[in-house]
Amino acid sequence: MISRVICGVICLLALTATTPLSAATKSNPTAVRIQSPILGDLRVGQSLATASACSTGSDTAYYWMINGWVYGNELYKGYVDPAHWCPGPYPFTVEEVNMPMYLKAGSIINVSVDVEAVDPTNPSCPVPGNLLSISSSYDLGPAPVSGIYNLWIPLDSPVTVDGPFFVGFFIGNIINPSVDTVALITDNFPEACNSYNIWDTTIGFVDLDNNDIFDFPGKLMLYCSGTTGGFGGTAPAPAGALLSPKKSDYLMGSTDFWFNETSNSKILSYAAFEWRIGTGAWTEISRDYDGASPLRDGVTAATAGEGWSYSWNLAGVTEGLRQIKATVIDTLGRKAADSFNVFFEPTPPLNGITSPANGADFCPQTNYIFSTSDENMQFIELYKKDAQTTFALGLPTMNQATVGDANGNINDGNHAAGNEYGDYYCGPVAAAIAIKYLADHGVPNIMDSSGVTLTISKVAEKLAASFKTRANKGTYDNRFFGGLKEYLFNTGDEATLGFDRNPSYFDIRIWVEEEGRIAMLGLGGNPGLWVTVNGFSGWQNVDSTYTISISNPLTGTIQSTTIRNTVSGSELLVSGVWHTVDIMVSLLAKTWVPTRTLIGADASSANGWSINWTPANVTEGNLYFFRARGVDLTNYSKTATIMIQYDCSNFFTKGDYTGDGYANIVDLAYLISYFGNKGPAPSGGIYRADANCDNYVNIADMIYYMNYLFGKVAAPCH
């Protein structure tokens, strides 16, 4: 009754080897209520008889028969979660797959089955992902009489899964509806993102319960049989702690929750974030069902995700001491939680600097406007700090291939091709470069272990152990941040950690140059990698990019490259490829305090929160940081920083020293008065008096201006 045909992967690739069917072929299906029972099994091999065997699938009970849909040479997929059917389901070992179908008497159907992981990129709508296991191809039939049969096919190699998955059913032969009537079976509960079909590679997978051809009236009956517990194995219980916020933090306006789950369990269901007052009831903020954390290995494309996290706006909650909690729960109901006290300030004393904007030019008297939602503001201060045209930390360099040794020969390159780990070490090396810089600039203990000063290579290896880089062949973001936190705690806690997702060029430069942080960038794209920021050069280039230098673990060199702002953050050019800057992690020595100059303050909101400042001690073409600090009556404070350029070239008419918009005899008198030490400098600054463009301000400029008014020379330089 059953003939076996060896086919394997070729069966699944048959879709691309034959003429695709058109969408119109499936244009006239019908759903008929099922009245007759299943007649029996068409099975390859014996059914499972172990005590832990369990059948599981996406259906409840068969209800509808779908006629006129199956034409063969097509693949069906069904979402399966054994947790809905089997006690103690995971790990679950899949052995057989079944898709009940109606077969006309005498019909023969060629089938194979497979198991696929769930693609993690869209957790709100599960779709098939990586292939996990596949069967050979089999001819089932001929059917003894017309009716509904279970079509059971074993996998060639059983596969163990730790979470929901997809099973696939491939029909390899062409079905002629006028001769061989074949129909699908569904339940009576349609559900999008559950049942899929592909028959045309140009169309791709079609959601059977949500499409433009025919919405099925229920989920496809497609399920599997296997053993629970993975033949005695058990998934680890959830474990971990909050990376952000930290205990006793002040949460102002918004905050990022980030839980570092460390069990590596494959059956985690979701993370819940909550808060409460005192010992009162918990209020849930949100849940995150997608805990995928990017793996950056310097070799392959970075995976997507932000780990178990949630960005929360505190609007609507009350101010004061509160308790927060994060809980990660697996499909067996086991939990890992972390909770502690923080301070809520939903209306921070400073939301930001409204004007000028980051990257703007300023020249004449400038009005700095601030945004605040705090109801009891005390004052806002404004500070200035000069930026350098070329800023460079002078970071150390390190090639990742000098670490990650596995065979005892540290000089053979440690490449992944040789079954070593150096090629995956961009995360530990980028962090070791940052730590070495801090140590070289006086931060104590940060490279010590039990009283012994470590080399940068030893630091990289210690970090790799904390990051679990060898086990994962790369570094997950949560492991990177959590491992750094662990390392700093064990070396005297001399530096603070920070992170920012999707930073812009200005965010990066402000953190590094203005605040004195050492920043490591987690880059997306192919390959995903970690680099450490060394410095910056100049201002915006003609193509709207900026120049930045990095210490690159992949090459072991300081590289000058370009970075560009995007709608959602920025992109960095590395080896000719643009990489998204997904995350910035920083180290800041606790003893380092940047020097800034106070230039003004506002203690009244009568005319809005603003500070009007006439530029002083500034130079044309130079860059400056302006940092605002808002403080309310409870002494909560918050800061915001912008970076702008002093450039008067677009603000004044050449030779207009009075600022009235005209260059005439009045300006000559103004210039004569200035040179006679009786009058003020030209509007916009002393440099504008350099009429002849020789970079000196002297009597020659007055003579040049007189000749300009008589039409003998070109317009003044400024």
Is residue 314 situated within a structural domain?
A: yes
Is the separation of the CB atoms in 458 and 450 below 8 Å? no
pLDDT at 387: 97
- Quick one: 317 and 418 in the same domain? no
| Residue 331 to residue 266: CA distance in whole angstroms | 9
239: left (phi over 0), alpha (psi -120 to 50) or beta: beta
Is residue 257 situated within a structural domain?
A: yes
Is residue 556 situated within a structural domain?
A: yes
Q: How many residues would you count in the chain?
A: 718
DSSP letter for 384, please: E
Is the separation of the CB atoms in 115 and 98 below 8 Å? no
More reliable by pLDDT, 661 or 180:
661
Strands (E), 68-135: 72-80, 92-98, 101-103, 109-118, 128-134
Q: What is the pLDDT of residues 598-628, one digit of tens each?
A: 999 999 988 899 999 988 888 888 999 999 9
Three-class HEC string of 665-699: HHHHHHHHHHHCCCCCCCCCCHHHHCCCCCCCCCH
| Residue 151 to residue 114: CA distance in whole angstroms | 14
Is residue 657 situated within a structural domain?
A: yes
How many CA atoms within 13 Å lie on the side-chain side of 355?
10
Question: Of 393-402, 435-444, 654-663, where does mean pLDDT reach its minimum?
Answer: 654-663
pLDDT at 13: 47
Domains contained in the chain, number: 5
- Quick one: 581 and 599 in the same domain? no
Answer whether residue 203 shows pLDDT above 70.
Answer: yes
Is the separation of the CB atoms in 460 and 428 below 8 Å? yes
- Quick one: 187 and 66 in the same domain? yes
pLDDT mean over 248-271: 91
Is the separation of the CB atoms in 168 and 115 below 8 Å? yes
- Quick one: 490 and 614 in the same domain? no
- Quick one: 399 and 540 in the same domain? yes
Domain final residue, candidates 228, 248, 276: 228
DSSP letter for 260, please: E
pLDDT at 54: 81
- Quick one: 38 and 185 in the same domain? yes
pLDDT mean over 308-332: 93
Which residue in the block uniquely carries the two structure tokens 């065979």? 407
Is residue 350 situated within a structural domain?
A: no
pLDDT at 3: 38
Q: b or e along 28-49 (b: 16 or more beta carbons within 10 Å of the residue's beta carbon)?
A: eeebeebeeeebeebbbeeebe
pLDDT at 707: 85
Answer whether residue 24 shows pLDDT above 70.
Answer: no
Q: What is the pLDDT of residues 391-418, one digit of tens each?
A: 999 999 999 999 999 999 988 999 998 8
- Cα dihedral 114, 118, 119, 125 sign: positive
- Quick one: 254 and 133 in the same domain? no
pLDDT mean over 35-57: 70
Domain final residue, candidates 163, 198, 228: 228
Is the separation of the CB atoms in 106 and 160 below 8 Å? no
Cα-flanking dihedrals φ and ψ of residue 702, to 5°?
A: -65, -40
Highest mean pLDDT among 23-37, 108-122, 472-486, 608-622: 472-486
Judged by DSSP in three states, 463 sits in helix
Pairing of strands 361-362, 352-355: unpaired
pLDDT at 693: 85
- Quick one: 660 and 526 in the same domain? no
Angle at 387 between CA 397 and CA 558, to 5 degrees: 15
Answer whether residue 163 shows pLDDT above 80.
Answer: yes
pLDDT mean over 129-146: 90
pLDDT at 59: 54
**DSSP of 134-188, one letter per residue?**
E--EEEE---SSSEEEEEEEEEEEEEEESS-EEEEEEEEEEP-TTTS-EEEEE-S
Q: Residue 464: which H helix or E strand, with range?
A: helix 456-467
Is the separation of the CB atoms in 101 and 182 below 8 Å? yes
DSSP letter for 26, please: G
Residue 271 is part of a domain; what is its CATH number?
A: 2.60.40.10
Question: Of 241-255, 355-369, 505-519, where does mean pLDDT reach its minimum?
Answer: 355-369
Bridge partner list, 160: 93
| Residue 154 to residue 139: CA distance in whole angstroms | 13
- Quick one: 535 and 437 in the same domain? yes
- Quick one: 369 and 331 in the same domain? no
Contacts of range 558-563, beta carbons closer than 8 Å, 24 or more positions apart = 558/395, 558/397, 558/534, 563/505, 563/508
| Residue 559 to residue 537: CA distance in whole angstroms | 12
* Position 1 confidence tier, pLDDT thresholds 50, 70, 90: very low
pLDDT mean over 35-53: 69
Answer whether residue 177 shows pLDDT above 80.
Answer: no
pLDDT at 37: 80
pLDDT at 86: 81
Answer whether residue 595 shows pLDDT above 60.
Answer: yes
pLDDT at 437: 98
- Quick one: 446 and 318 in the same domain? no
| Residue 354 to residue 29: CA distance in whole angstroms | 59
Is residue 433 situated within a structural domain?
A: yes
Question: Of 126-130, 638-642, 702-706, where does mean pLDDT reach its minimum?
Answer: 702-706
68 burial via Cβ count (<10 Å: 0-12, 13-18, 19+)? middle
- Quick one: 303 and 379 in the same domain? no
Residue 404 is part of a domain; what is its CATH number?
A: 3.90.70.10
Is residue 42 situated within a structural domain?
A: yes
Give the structural domain span for 672.
652-718
Cα-flanking dihedrals φ and ψ of residue 687, to 5°?
A: -60, -25
Answer whether residue 4 shows pLDDT above 60.
Answer: no
Domain final residue, candidates 195, 228, 261: 228
Answer whether residue 148 shows pLDDT above 80.
Answer: yes
Q: Work out the end-to-end distance of the chain between its first and last CA atoms, rounded to an integer number of angstroms.
A: 96
| Residue 124 to residue 118: CA distance in whole angstroms | 11
DSSP letter for 126, please: -
Mean predicted lDDT score pLDDT of the chain: 89
pLDDT at 60: 64
665 burial via Cβ count (<10 Å: 0-12, 13-18, 19+)? exposed
pLDDT at 50: 46
pTM, 2 dp: 0.69
- In this structure, the number of other CB atoms found within 10 A of the CB of residue 306 comes to 21
pLDDT > 90: percent of the chain: 61
* Cis, bond preceding 91 (omega within 30 deg of 0): yes
In order of 384, 621, 647, 677, the CA distances from 683 in angstroms are: 21, 16, 13, 15
Is residue 235 situated within a structural domain?
A: no
pLDDT > 70: percent of the chain: 93
pLDDT at 671: 85
